[in-house]
Amino acid sequence: MRSFLITLCVFLLCTLSSISVEAQDQIEPAGEEVVFKSKNAVLNGRLVLPDSAVNVPVIIFMGGMYEWGDFHPQRDIFIRENLEAVFPDAGVAVFYYDPRGTGESEGRWGRASLTTFADDAKAAITYLEQRKEIDPSRIGIVGQGEDGWVAQIVAATAPQKVKLMASLAGPTFDPTRQLVNEYHSEYVCAGQDSAAAYEKAVQKAQSHQNWVAALPLTKTWRHMNMKVGFEPEEYIRQIQVPALFLFAKNDGQVYSEWGTEALNEIFSNSLPDNFSVHSIAGANHFFHVTPPCYDYLTESQSIQRNFSFRFKEVFQDFIFSNL
């Protein structure tokens, strides 16, 4: 009997622990679910307002996507800890939305160009300008990863609509070089020599782009094809609003050295006064503190990585100082 009771207690404890973990994974999203229209698509978003919001500033966040159009598991955590847990309590609203063709939003993700995604962001701004709780003169745009390109386009082409722009681990070089960056990182992390890895990465990137141009059969390939020919330099040169470019030194998708070098090449080593450029030591693509070559898929789901304190400090200071 005693053995049975011990077994039963262990079973119940394990069951309750499992339920607790599942409950944490299914945290109810904060704020209000909203929809807005962008050209031919209705997009789904979420607006998190400060208490008693009247004429408050807002930051629009884009990012946290896989290259095949799915949400990265770290997206929700990034939004909760770095946006929702910080800005509404300080009087700043937070807005984010499902890109076209993902989540609850209409449209075709794999068929959209970067400028189409930028048009969607402008439509989000137009929607927020009409909300009585929002100050239309204080709207900031934030893009993480590939959406850093989108934020750069919006800041360059709609300066009258945004007060600031932040590109978080966003490339400042073209999509071909970004692909080389990713492949090079994969080869180096597999133990290959950096120089040999670079040659292989260049060949692989060119081969893949040739294939996707001829046979864009999958959503990932169609998306890759839609980025070919994009030149961020023409947009970066036009940015007049306060602009933050944050890179992470352990980021294998966007090398911090390549990112800062590209900016210095664009402006001949004389960055505009409205630009702030930082590289965060010890951080990865999502600004978690991790070693180089860290892979989320190889680690237990129960382990929570800490976000870089320096990242949070620089990012928050920029937003509060310029919005």
Q: What is the mean pLDDT of the chain?
A: 89
Q: Calculate mean pLDDT across residues 182-204.
A: 97
Q: Identify any residues that bridge with 51 across adjacent strands, giving them in sequence order.
A: none
CATH of the domain spanning 28-173+231-322, picked from 3.40.50.1820, 1.20.120.1200, 3.30.2350.10, 3.40.50.620: 3.40.50.1820
279-317 pLDDT, tens digit per residue, is: 999 999 999 999 999 998 887 655 678 999 999 999 999
Q: Calculate mean pLDDT across residues 141-154.
A: 98
Share of the chain above pLDDT 70, in %: 86
Question: Is 193 a residue whose pLDDT tops 70?
Answer: yes
Q: How far apart are CA 243 and CA 186, in angstroms?
A: 30
Residue type, 177: R
For residue 311, the SS3 value is helix
The pLDDT-based confidence of 227 (bands split at 50, 70, 90) is confident
pLDDT of residue 12: 47
CB of 166 within 8 A of CB of 244? yes
Domains in the chain: boundaries: 28-173+231-322, 175-229
49-77 pLDDT, tens digit per residue, is: 999 888 999 999 999 988 777 899 999 99
Q: Calculate mean pLDDT across residues 35-56.
A: 94
- Other Cβ atoms less than 10 A from the Cβ of 172: the count is 26
Q: What angle do CA 248, 279, 117 make, to 5 degrees?
A: 60
Q: How far apart are CA 18 and CA 27, in angstroms?
A: 15
Question: What pTM was estimated for this model as a whole?
Answer: 0.88
The pLDDT-based confidence of 26 (bands split at 50, 70, 90) is low
CB of 247 within 8 A of CB of 169? yes
For residue 147, the SS3 value is helix
Lowest mean pLDDT among 49-58, 127-136, 194-203: 49-58
Question: Is 48 a residue whose pLDDT tops 80?
Answer: yes
Share of the chain above pLDDT 90, in %: 74
73-129 pLDDT, tens digit per residue, is: 999 999 999 999 999 999 999 999 999 999 999 998 778 899 999 999 999 999 999
